[in-house]
């Protein structure tokens, strides 16, 4: 015959918001509020609680670190792309004589507005250069 341990009843005061969260959580899980509260208290008092929190924090930090690494890579690709373009443009575009340079400066505003418009459309599409570069490299390798 097994001996049953009788649970001890306690009374606690909860803020109405906390009480509502407890009631909602218990209802969603189809468990009693007492069972949810007991599990929460046991988890809070558990000696490995700090270790679990540390593990959760470490996972979040690792995730952030991976995102920052990808961001650094993307910025590096952007800077290198810009540098290659500028070098190419400077090497292939001859300097204009003064009368033509004045006309080109006058046209620069229109061309800049067209560029900004094209950039806005490109960003609205959602396709990213790094995705296209990866796809182009994969296509060339196969």
pLDDT tens per residue, range 32-89: 999 999 988 888 887 787 788 888 899 999 999 999 999 999 899 889 988 999 888 8
Q: Nearest-5° angle of CA 95, CA 101, CA 107?
A: 120
Instruction: Tell me the domain boundaries of the chain.
Output: 16-45, 93-127
Tell which wins on pLDDT, 49 or 5.
5
pLDDT of 36: 93
Those residues with Cβ within 8 angstroms of residue 23's Cβ, 6 or more apart along the chain or in another chain: 33
- Here the tokens at position 54 are 């540390």
Cβ 130 vs Cβ 74: under 8 Å: yes
With 0.75 as the threshold, say if the pTM is over it: no
Q: Is the pLDDT of residue 118 over 80?
A: yes
3-state DSSP assignment of residue 119: helix
Interatomic CA distance for residues 57 and 67, integer angstroms: 15
């Amino acid at each position: 015959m097994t001996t049953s341990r009788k649970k001890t009843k306690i009374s606690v005061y909860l803020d109405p918001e906390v009480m509502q969260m407890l009631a909602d959580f218990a209802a969603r899980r189809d468990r009693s509020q007492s069972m949810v509260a007991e599990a929460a208290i046991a988890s809070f008092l558990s000696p490995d609680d700090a270790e679990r929190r540390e593990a959760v924090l470490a996972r979040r930090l690792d995730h952030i670190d991976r995102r920052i690494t990808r961001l650094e890579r993307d910025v590096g690709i952007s800077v290198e792309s810009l540098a290659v373009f500028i070098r190419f443009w400077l090497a292939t575009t001859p300097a204009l004589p003064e009368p033509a340079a004045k006309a080109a400066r006058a046209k620069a505003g229109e061309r800049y507005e067209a560029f900004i418009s094209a950039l806005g459309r490109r960003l609205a599409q959602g396709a990213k250069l790094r995705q296209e570069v990866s796809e182009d490299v994969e296509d060339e390798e196969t």
